[in-house]
Structure formats: C-alpha cells, structure tokens
C-alpha cells in the first residue's frame, strides 16, 4: 500500500492521523454492529413481564414487524456520531499516550500506562457518547403507535433523530439529551481502559510468539480487535443496562432509581438482559473497528 506522505511529501500530524483513522474505525463498527446493538437495547429496556423470550425471539419479532431495516432502527445517530466518537476516543487515547511518553515517541508504555490513557480517553468519550446513545436508544425502542412522556401520556412517535433531539430539548432543556451522563462516565472510564489494554496486550503477546522478524497478519489484528470487545464489556455491562433503562424511561430520574426498579421488577438477572447479542456483536464490531483503524494509520505513515 502506498503511503500518503511518501507520494505527496506531506506528513499528516499525529493528532489528525488519530482523528481520521478513528473515524474510519467508527463507521466500520456501526455497519457491522448496529443490528446486534438494536437487539441488545430492546432486550435491556423491555417491560416486566418481558415481551421477548430471548435474543432470537426479539430478532424474529422485529424483522416480522419492520423487515430487515428494523435492525438498523436509529442508525442515523450512531452513523453520524460513532464516527465522531471513535475519532474522539482514538485521538484522546493517542494524545494521553503521548503525554505519558513525556516527549519520547520511542518509549514503550506499560500495559498499566496504556490502561490509564484508555480510561482518561473514556472519560472524554462519555461526553460524546451520552447524547448520541440517548437519541439512539429512544429511536430503537419506540413503538410506532407513539411514546410515553414523563407525565405518562402518549405522544406521537419520533420521525427521526433530529425530531427526537428537538422534542427532547424543548421538553427538558439542552441537558435533556445528556440524561444518564453519570452512569455513562462510570461505564466508559473502566471500559475503555480495559479495551485498549486487551488490544495492546494481545498484540504484544502474538508478536512475542511470532518473533520480531515477522509482522502481525490481518488475522492477528482481527483476533486482537475482536477479543478486545469482550474485554471492554466485562467491567461495563451492568452500567450499560442502567443507562439504557434510564434513557428510555423519562419517569426514571436517576441511575439509583433505575437500579431499584430493575431489582424490584426482574431481580439481579436484569443486569444481564441483552448480554447475548452484546457479546455476539463485540467480536465482529471491534475486529472491524481496530482493523479499519490500523489500515488507515498504515496508509498515513
């Protein structure tokens, strides 16, 4: 593959490289992972008694009702937003790593330092993730017949992501789309820390087995990227359930209230609702994310 700076003589700044490659990774993630995410959110936010028996039942009902396009409900928000979010998280992660390198780009960071940089990037990411996921959750879970507002009254269904955003801001003010910000921070900080630790740790482990004379193959990068998705969800899934429930139901005022409602209605198993499609999504979506990121970075070297 020809290098962009070799052909033009123009060297792309490191921050811009992270931004461009992160955006490519984000788009790849949405295309591959959104159908799984739709199933996850619908399972997380279903009422008690549940509408769906399991992920396959959710898939069948959704496709029967809306056709295959139903799996891409609310995709406009993440397609526009996840590209931005991924750009932000990879750019922030790269910048925090450079800070920890203290001006020495050749310094190899420890996995602890990589985790620290990833966690700080997760804090930054949460401020972008929260409003984007709020709109996505609203559109993924709405009934075509209408939505229930904070007063328990039926309102017309949202026409799309812009309509959802405008109506939310009109009803709750600009902070309305940041509903669930606290629990998003508690999810993203540990999640992104372990995400990057898993990816870098696996890459280093594979490289040590292959030896320094061999470069990592496409398969190696896909495996490391895919498995990093599992690592990201291990410390974060219960927080994600609380966030989805809180963002979906305007009558739930806090993550603590969401916790109490879930425990009362379903019990501890509520915090594992949707874990099947989440883990099914984790491997292909994150393999696509890191592979697209690495290929874009390689093209800009």
Using DSSP, state whether 125 is helix, strand or coil: helix
Q: What is the DSSP letter of 148?
A: E
**Beta carbons within 8 Å of 288's beta carbon, 6+ residues apart:** 25, 28, 29, 31, 32, 33, 225
* pLDDT tens per residue across all 301 residues of the chain: 444 444 445 678 888 888 889 888 988 888 888 888 888 888 888 877 888 888 899 999 989 888 888 888 777 767 777 778 888 899 999 999 999 999 898 999 999 999 999 999 999 999 999 998 999 888 888 877 777 777 777 888 888 889 999 999 998 899 999 999 999 999 999 999 999 999 999 999 999 999 888 889 989 999 999 999 999 999 999 999 999 999 988 889 899 999 999 999 889 988 988 888 888 889 999 999 999 998 999 888 7
CB of 107 closer than 8 Å to CB of 158: no
Tell me how far apart the alpha carbons of residues 195 and 12 are, in angstroms, rounded to a whole number: 26
Alpha-carbon torsion 233, 234, 238, 239, what sign? negative
- Alpha-carbon span 264 to 267, nearest angstrom: 6
What's the token pair of residue 145? 């017949």
Nearest to 26 by CA among 94, 79, 91: 79
Q: Where are the alpha helices (DSSP H) in the chain?
A: 4-8, 14-45, 55-66, 76-101, 111-141, 161-172, 181-210, 218-233, 237-248, 255-265, 275-300
């Amino acid at each position: 593959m020809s290098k962009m700076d070799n052909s033009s003589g123009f060297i792309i700044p490191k921050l811009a490289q992270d931004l461009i490659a992160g955006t490519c990774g984000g788009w790849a993630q949405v295309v591959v992972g959104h159908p799984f995410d739709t199933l996850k959110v619908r399972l997380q936010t279903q009422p008690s008694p549940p509408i769906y028996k399991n992920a396959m039942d959710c898939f069948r009902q959704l496709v029967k009702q809306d056709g295959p396009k139903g799996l891409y409900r609310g995709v406009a928000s993440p397609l526009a937003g996840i590209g931005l979010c991924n750009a932000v998280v990879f750019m922030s992660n790269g910048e925090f790593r450079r800070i920890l390198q203290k001006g020495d780009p050749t310094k190899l960071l420890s996995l602890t330092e990589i985790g620290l940089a990833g966690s700080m990037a997760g804090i930054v990411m949460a401020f972008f993730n929260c409003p984007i996921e709020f709109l996505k959750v609203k559109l993924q879970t709405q009934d075509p017949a209408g939505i229930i507002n904070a007063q328990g009254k039926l309102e017309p269904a949202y026409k799309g992501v812009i309509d959802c955003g405008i109506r939310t801001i009109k009803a709750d003010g600009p902070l309305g789309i940041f509903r669930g910000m606290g629990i998003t921070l508690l999810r993203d900080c540990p999640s992104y820390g372990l995400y990057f630790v898993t990816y870098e740790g696996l890459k280093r482990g594979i490289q040590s087995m292959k030896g320094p004379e061999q470069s990592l193959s496409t398969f190696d990068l896909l495996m490391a990227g895919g498995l990093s998705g599992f690592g990201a969800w291990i410390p974060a899934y219960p927080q994600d359930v609380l966030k989805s429930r809180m963002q979906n139901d305007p009558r739930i005022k806090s993550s603590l209230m969401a916790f109490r409602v879930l425990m009362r209605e379903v019990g501890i198993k509520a915090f594992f609702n949707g874990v099947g499609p989440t883990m099914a999504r984790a491997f292909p979506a994150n393999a696509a994310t890191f592979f697209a990121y690495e290929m874009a970075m390689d093209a800009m070297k």
